[in-house]
Structure 1
Amino acid sequence: TGSTTNTNTMKTNVTTIIANTTTTSVISTTTTSTTSATVTTTSVTSTTTSATTTTITTTSTTSGKISYSAEIQQVLLFGGSTRIPRVQNELVKSLGGIELGKRLNTDEAAAMGGVYQAAALSKGYRVKKFIAKDANQYPINVQFERHADPTAENSEPKLIDRTLFQRNNLYPNRKVMTFNRHTDDFSFDVRYGDLSFLSDTDKRSLGKTDLLRINVSGARKAYEKHQDTSESKGVKAHFQLDDNSLLVLDRVEFVFERKETEAERTNATKDEDESTLSSKLIDIYF
């Protein structure tokens, strides 16, 4: 099992877009990325023991949420080391006697799979439909502090941990995390979630579990500007797992709903209920 880690720091300034107003603001978000990509591979070698083989097959079926008898009809051998008779015998034992598929050239299988996928994605070739679904290996959580009511007896901030992408989430994928009670500038962390399914060796090879540190600035200024005329709908952080399973923070926005004035209520028509909420929203991007 091996892993690769890239480190970079990115700072983005995005101009504010406000619906139904002519005001424009600039709010900045600083994103520090400590781990951009983690690639993990597992192979069976000539020194595979019964215990190791059992661990690999058990982990694979647990990750895929499948059962041996009901959903696995055949196991295809992959990689040159699977030609070793001892490896095949241990695989058959750990899989409960399920047949091993030997129709693939175990040395060329990876290269041929890459060729078929490239042809399927290319506009220059017409091939039989080729479906490949990638899933996120590790759960990704967002961690932040929630400040309690200062008038309460226990006003200590509470550490909140929320799952952003669950284990085996398909990608590419997009998720939105909403911070409902934040009106001041704040920070939050993105990190791997529960890794109890990994062995101690796998955890050590994974390295650091922190992925991103996000510093959100300009939230307080936006809140003070719109609190009298609008109702806060929370700070929303938009994330995506791209085609390469890289976590990207797309944008952060402070959303307000404009309060209806007395004049607007007086001039409201009977068809008001049919109007859309979007016409009353103010999105502050930062």
Structure 2
Amino acid sequence: MNQVGQRPPPPVPEPRPPPPTGSWIRILRSVASSLGLSLRSLMVLLWRACRLPAGQDEEERNDAKNKNETGGQDDEDRLKKTEIAARKRARQKAKKAARKEAKAKAKKTKKEAKAEDKKKRQEEEAMKRKEEEEAAKEEARIREEEQKAAKEKARQKLAEDKKKADLEEAKRRQREDAERRKEEARMEEEDRQRRREEAQRRKEADRNKDEHEDEKDVHISYWSQNHNKRKKQCLGNIPDEIDRHNNKFHKGVEMRSCRKKGCLVRANKRDIQVHEYYCHGLSK
């Protein structure tokens, strides 16, 4: 059994789950841990600091009882009262010191917790900024790679289009060359055929020279009568000049050119047929 004026032994601390960060329970528990007490013991001390301890009432009752038994001895009463007052002052002083120390530790703990929270918040912000910077760098790198890929794709497409255009141009030139060679071959064949026909006509003309002598004389006479009056024959191969000449000298007359290649003689239909027949051996 506890004696008068003695503190009860502190209870055995029970393990409890940690309270949330920054709460008063955590602060009080840290203060109790720094004092070597349990949270319950610290609460008992704080409760006793706010009011008279339970043992003091018992001491005063015992003193009053002893005073009644002894008949009210003043010296003993004064001595006891002095001792009680001294113990009370000592307890109050100890409680005040404990409260002051607890308040200082609580303030220090709160300040440390606040500093720790601030440091943690700064670290989180720094980490967040670092993550954002890394994400921005990664996004810029991906965008740059996409731009490079798009440029490479456009370059390849342009090269393919150019290659295709060059191939089509080469094919077109080959077709044009083939058509030109074909046309040249056709024209050469026509020239050869025309030369053969002209040679054949000249042969026939020479063969029938005697038969057409009279007609030739008539033609020469006609040509001399109708064309020798002119200072020169009607010649020309430029369309604009031919049109101006026809409008000026042969207005209303259908003028034709000689079919002989290289011959520039022009006349009406009848005269040009006679010219072609007798001068070049061309039949009608």
For Structure 1 versus Structure 2, the TM-score category normalised by the shorter chain is under 0.3
**Highest Rg: 1 or 2?**
2
Q: Which has the higher relative contact order, 1 or 2, with Cα contacts under 8 A spaced 6 or more apart?
A: 1
* More helix per residue: 2
Normalising by structure 2, report the TM-score: 0.21
* More strand per residue: 1
Normalising by structure 1, report the TM-score: 0.21
